[in-house]
Amino acid sequence: MRIYFPLKSLLIILVLSVSAAFVSAQSNQPAIATLLNVEGTVRVVTLKSPKGRRGSHGLLLYAGNKILTSAKSKTSIEYRDGSRVRLFQNSALVLNLSEEQSTSKRTFKFQLTLKSGSLRGRFLKGLQRTKIRTPTALIGIRGTSVRITENNNNATVSLTEGQVDVSNFSSKVTLNPGQWLADFDRNTDLAQKVGPIPNLLSLKTGEYELDFQDGKSKQLDFSVQIQNSISGKSVKRSGLVIFESDYKNIRLPKRFLLNERGFARVLLGLDPPNSDDSGFRGLITIRAFMDDDGFDDVSEGHLVLKILNLGKNRTLLLDPDKGVISKED
């Protein structure tokens, strides 16, 4: 007995089969990033959830996923190499591509599209090649702390660390640390728009050289102030600040608010370095950035602490005439 299917039914079966195969193939792809620190309403659009599913801390992200943030909402996206993107309110970001490169060292190739809104990216030097596309520009990133805003076919790019190549339909420029391109469109002559970032986050503490020979932890008092980049004068402007560091044994303050004078004092804890950390060279880098949109005109704060006598044992000798003498082995 032969069974006949109408052509329309066959087409439906074929489409469903192809779709199922595509979904299956997508599900077998490795995760490329993780969603972290979700605040407010964040949605993740996927092939299985075209209307978007609610984002949550720890959610795995895949190539092709689109992250949407609503008003007064934000989140972080962390890639496998440790690079991070902080996505601010009313933004739409697509994770187009993440590929591990066939090189002697573990490196990655990232491609993202910021359709609208604002982000801050911290991409690790030497570990990745990143391109971020917006409706206005293409930004090529090299080991960078960068902020990008895209709204109504106008973009702003500001750079604190590393280098970025920015191009639109008519021109291309390279930004160096402390420079920005403010409010440009697809046809702007970018060379005419490059300028210094107007303001900066100033970080200060009372002690920049630390000695952990006694094996005890230390606590440092930091002052944080928004200042004009040229005059050094204080800027009265409140906003949230996040600290970050590449030092393992650090206790950073939780996100804090600058007061109406653009100023805050915070405490930071440091434990002695691990004796088995052969890669540590005695320098602790600390960064601070404004955790909200609308702060592209404020360069990130940055300072370096130095640990003295790293890896050296100190012996105390008692001399009858000179007293206690410190000797390094």
Q: Which domains does the chain have, with CATH numbers?
A: 29-198 (2.60.120.1440), 200-292 (2.60.40)
Neighbours of 82 (CB within 10 A): 12
**Residues shown for the chain:** 329
What is the pLDDT, as a whole number, of residue 18?
Answer: 38
**Enclosing H/E stretch for 263:** strand 263-270
Task: Return the amino acid letter for 222.
Answer: F
Contact assessment for residue 47 and residue 64, using Cβ atoms and an 8 Å cutoff: yes
Q: Along the chain (329 residues), what's the average pLDDT of each consecutive run of 10 residues?
A: 45 42 54 95 93 95 96 95 94 86 61 97 79 96 92 96 95 97 97 97 96 93 97 97 94 96 97 82 94 98 91 52 50
pTM value > 0.85: no
Q: What are the DSSP calls for 295-310, one per residue?
A: -TTEEPEEEEEEEETT
What is the pLDDT, as a whole number, of residue 98?
Answer: 73
What is the pLDDT, as a whole number, of residue 17?
Answer: 43
The beta strand positions in 154-208, using DSSP E, are: 154-167, 172-175, 179-184, 194-196, 199-205
What is the pLDDT, as a whole number, of residue 322?
Answer: 53
Number of H helices and number of E strands within the chain?
Answer: 1, 27
What is the pLDDT, as a whole number, of residue 128?
Answer: 62
Contact assessment for residue 61 and residue 35, using Cβ atoms and an 8 Å cutoff: yes
Taking the C-alpha atoms of residue 129 and residue 112, their distance in angstroms, rounded to an integer, is 11
What is the sign, positive or negative, of the torsion defined by CA atoms of 65, 66, 67, 70?
A: negative
Residue the block writes with tokens 């596309």: 133
Q: What are the DSSP calls for 45-85, one per residue?
A: E-SS-TT-EE--TT-EE-TT-EEEE-TT-EEEEEETTS-EE
Q: Which long-range contacts (CB under 8 A, 24 or more apart) does 211-217 make?
A: 211/307, 211/308, 211/309, 212/272, 212/273, 212/307, 212/309, 213/309, 213/314, 215/272, 216/272, 217/269, 217/270, 217/271, 217/272
Cβ-based neighbours of 95, under 8 Å, separated by 6 or more: 32, 33, 61, 62, 63, 64, 65, 66, 67, 77, 112
Taking the C-alpha atoms of residue 131 and residue 142, their distance in angstroms, rounded to an integer, is 9
The partner residues of 219 in beta bridges, in order of sequence, read 269
What is the pLDDT, as a whole number, of residue 144?
Answer: 87
Residue the block writes with tokens 């079966």: 13
